[in-house]
Amino acid sequence: MLNEFKEIVKEKVKEIQQEVYLKDEILEKIVALFLSLKNDRFPGKKPPKGLLFYGPPGTGKTLLMKTLAKKLNLSDPIMIRGPEIISQYYGKSESRLRQIFALAKERAEEENLAIIFIDELDSLAPSRDLTKGELEPRLVGQLLSLMDGLEREISKGNVVVIGSTNRPEALDPALRRPGRFDLEIEFDPPDADQRKEILKILLNNYVKGRYENINLDEIADQTIGFTGADLLQLLNESLLQAVLKSRDFITQEDLLHAKNSVKPSALREFHIEKPRDRSNEIKDKEIIDRIMQVAEGFSRKPHFKPILLTHELLFSDKIASTIAFMVCQRLHCPYLVVRATWFRTRWFGEMERSIRKLFEKINRLQPCIVYIKNIDAIASFGNEHIHGAILELLDNLNNFSDNNTKVLLLCSTKDKDKLDQEIKTYLKELI
The predicted-structure confidence for 237-270, as pLDDT tens digits, reads as follows: 999 989 998 888 899 999 998 988 887 776 665 6
- Residue 163 has a pLDDT of 93
Q: How far apart are CA 78 and CA 68, in angstroms?
A: 14
Q: What is the pLDDT of residue 103?
A: 92
What single letter denotes the amino acid at residue 100?
Answer: I
268-313 pLDDT, tens digit each:
656 677 899 999 999 888 999 999 999 999 999 888 888 989 888 8
Give the pLDDT confidence score for residue 151 in this predicted structure: 67
Please report the pLDDT score of residue 2 as a whole number. 67
**Residue 347 above 60 pLDDT?**
no
Q: What CATH code would you report for 37-186?
A: 3.40.50.300
Whether the CB-CB separation of 278 and 305 falls below 8 Å is answered with no
Instruction: Report the DSSP pairing between strands 183-186 and 50-54.
Output: parallel
Query: What integer pLDDT is reported at residue 351 of this predicted model?
Result: 67
Strands of the 335-339 sheet, one edge to the other: 271-272, 335-339, 368-373, 407-412, 305-309, 428-429
Residues 6+ apart with CB under 8 A from 133: none
| Percentage above 90 pLDDT, the chain | 17
Helical packing angle, 135-153 and 92-111, nearest 10°: 20
Average pLDDT, the chain: 83
The CA distance from 47 to 346, in Å, is: 45
What is the amino acid identity at position 380?
S
**Residue 231 pLDDT > 70, yes or no?**
yes
Q: In the prediction, which pLDDT does 346 show? A: 47
**Residue 56 has what DSSP assignment?**
S
On the question of pLDDT at 324 being above 90, the answer is: yes
Q: Which pLDDT does position 298 carry in this prediction? A: 92
Overall average pLDDT of the 83-89 stretch:
74
pLDDT beyond 80 at 320: yes
Reply yes or no on domain 192-265 having CATH 1.10.8.60: yes
The rounded distance, in Å, linking the Cα atoms of 13 and 35 is 12
> Mean pLDDT throughout 411-422?
78
pLDDT at 213: 87
Q: For domain 271-429, say whether CATH 3.40.50.300 is its number.
A: yes
343: pLDDT strictly greater than 70:
no
Q: CA-CA distance, 125 to 131, in Å (whole number)?
A: 10
pLDDT tens, residue by residue, 28-84:
999 999 998 888 888 777 788 899 998 878 788 888 988 998 999 888 899 988 777
How far is Cα 243 from Cα 213, in angstroms, rounded to an integer?
17
At 110 the pLDDT is 86
Of 289 and 179, the structure prediction assigns the larger pLDDT to 289
Instruction: Identify the pLDDT of residue 388.
Output: 65
For 328-341, the pLDDT digits (tens) are 989 888 888 888 77
Contact 170, 134 (CB under 8 A): no
Residue 401 confidence (pLDDT): 45
DSSP 108-159: HHHHSEEEEEEETHHHHSB-GGG--SSHHHHHHHHHHHHHHHHHHH-SSSEE
251: phi then psi, degrees, rounded to nearest 5: -125, 175
Share of the chain above pLDDT 70, in %: 88
Q: DSSP code of 380?
A: B
d(CA 55, CA 66): 17
> Is the model's pLDDT at 403 over the cut of 50?
yes
Q: How confident is the model at residue 327 (pLDDT cuts 50, 70, 90)?
A: very high
CA angle 375, 274, 259 (to 5 degrees): 130
Query: What pLDDT does 53 receive?
Result: 92
Residue 142 contacts by C-beta under 8 Å, 6 or more apart in sequence? 94, 97, 98
Asked if pLDDT for residue 422 goes beyond 80, the answer is: no
Whether a cis peptide bond, with omega within 30° of 0, leads into 367 is: yes
Report domain extents, the chain. 37-186, 192-265, 271-429
Q: Same CATH topology for 37-186 and 192-265?
A: no
